Amino acid sequence: MSLTPSPLERLNRARADLRMGLPVVLTDGASSALVAAGETLDAARLADLRAIGQPVVALTAHRAATLKARAYDGDIARIVLPGDVGVAWIEALADPADDLTHPMKGPLLSQRDGPAALHRAAIRLVKSAQLLPAAVMVVAPAAADLARSHSLTTLSAEETNTPETRLSPVIAARLPMRLAGAGRLHVFRPQDGGTEHYAVEVGRPMRDAPVLARLHSACFTGDVLGSLKCDCGPQLHAALIAMQEAGSGVLLYLNQEGRGIGLANKMRAYSLQDQGFDTVEANHRLGFEDDERDFRLGAELLKKMGFSQVRLLTNNPRKVAMLQKGGIEVTQRVPLKVGLTDENAAYLATKAAKSGHLL
């Protein structure tokens, strides 16, 4: 029946539940688990989870390496929750903010036996909710029944894989811009009800010739506040100016703040950078990959707007590769080198050395 939530709707519901601190249930046919995000779980719910079974905290191998915990499952570690610790202990496991001032007391006991598929799915889910990648889990046959009796959102492990986003146009309206002149702003809404993304059309770009294009990931600090720690603000402005000079262009403004980890986690990364870690190390200490963006979005949006060929303003070869893979022909890569400051020189050098950006 159409009133039954679809897997995509349950996925987005699960993200909201975890952000509120409400556990969800993951199943994979063989077993089921109650899952809560380490960052939002409160003491009462932790006590309830303990009453059902032995909790473990799933972490990524990146975070486990910082904590010197064994990751027997390759990309995932399962840390057995000691009986005498509370939510503050879980928070310290999840959040590296105090790693240097208050190193965790070990040793941490990693679970070795049993499958880790549900734990891997749980990490995928909390990451996609833009929470720290740490999930408190109790694997128990009772989980499925508890989901029914307590109206908890249930997902299969398979359903935690974010499908290619389908975007629907919501509205477009005329927008005159100081740097780019006449244009139109289009708003697109993903089918799963998640964050909206925008496309700025400068002038009247033709659909049958390569368009000057930019895929810009949101950077509140750089784009809005003029932060000197990155080059995003100057890149945004330079792209708009280049489009006006070229007569037309299209700028996709993708709401993938912090290379997909969200503003809260990006600020956690900034706080680690103030302790001396570079941009990539900071992401890893938090448990993330250095880039968590889903670049399938860009190709989908361009196609939706009728573009098939672009001259792409970027220094990031991954953006070129992902667009080509998504069916958009990149006829030319146009470098976008602006905004170098004393504050961001090391950041840009790290991106070149570790993330393949072209200097």
Ligand X SMILES: Nc1nc2c(ncn2[C@@H]2O[C@H](COP(=O)(O)OP(=O)(O)OP(=O)(O)O)[C@@H](O)[C@H]2O)c(=O)[nH]1
As annotated, the active-site residues are 291, 293
Restricting to residues 255-314, name those near ligand X by CB under 6 A: 256-259, 261, 266, 269, 279, 283, 314
- The least distance separating Zn ion from the CB of residue 31, rounded to whole angstroms, comes to 42
- Of 74-82, 113-121, 187-195, 222-230, the window that binds Zn ion (rule: CB under 5 A) is 222-230
232 contributes a contact to Zn ion by CB under 5 A: yes
Token representation of residue 129: 């909710």
List 59, 232, 250, 301, residue binding ligand X (CB under 6 A)? 232
- Provide φ and ψ at 176, rounded to 5°: -75, 135
DSSP line for 57-97: EEEEHHHHHHHT---TTSSEEEEEPPTT--HHHHHHHH-GG
- The least distance separating Zn ion from the CB of residue 30, rounded to whole angstroms, comes to 43
Q: Which does 110 bind (CB under 5 to 8 A by kind): Zn ion, ligand X, none?
A: none
Q: Among residues 243, 225, 223, which one has the least CA distance to residue 233?
A: 223
315 contributes a contact to ligand X by CB under 6 A: yes
Report how far apart the first and last C-alpha atoms of the chain are (Å, whole number): 54
- Of 4-12, 24-32, 210-218, 295-303, the window that binds ligand X (rule: CB under 6 A) is 210-218
In angstroms, rounded to a whole number, what is the distance separating the alpha carbons of residues 202 and 184? 7
For the window 58-97, what string marks contact with Zn ion as x by the rule CB under 5 A? ----------------------------------------
252 contributes a contact to ligand X by CB under 6 A: no
70 contributes a contact to ligand X by CB under 6 A: no
Is 324 strand, coil or helix?
helix
- Of 23-31, 146-154, 182-190, 229-237, the window that binds ligand X (rule: CB under 6 A) is 229-237
Decide whether 257 or 300 has the Cβ nearer to Zn ion: 257
In angstroms, rounded to a whole number, what is the distance separating the alpha carbons of residues 338 and 318? 19
Decide whether 205 or 222 has the Cβ nearer to Zn ion: 222
In angstroms, rounded to a whole number, what is the distance separating the alpha carbons of residues 310 and 328? 7
List 219, 251, 272, 299, residue binding Zn ion (CB under 5 A)? 219
User: Which stretches within the chain are classed as H helix?
Assistant: 7-20, 43-52, 61-67, 87-94, 117-128, 143-149, 232-246, 257-260, 262-273, 279-286, 296-304, 317-325, 345-354
Query: Which residues are known binding-site members for Zn(2+)?
Result: 219, 230, 232
Residues forming contacts to ligand X in the complex (CB under 6 A) are 216-219, 230, 232, 235, 256-259, 261, 266, 269, 279, 283, 314-316, 319, 336, 357
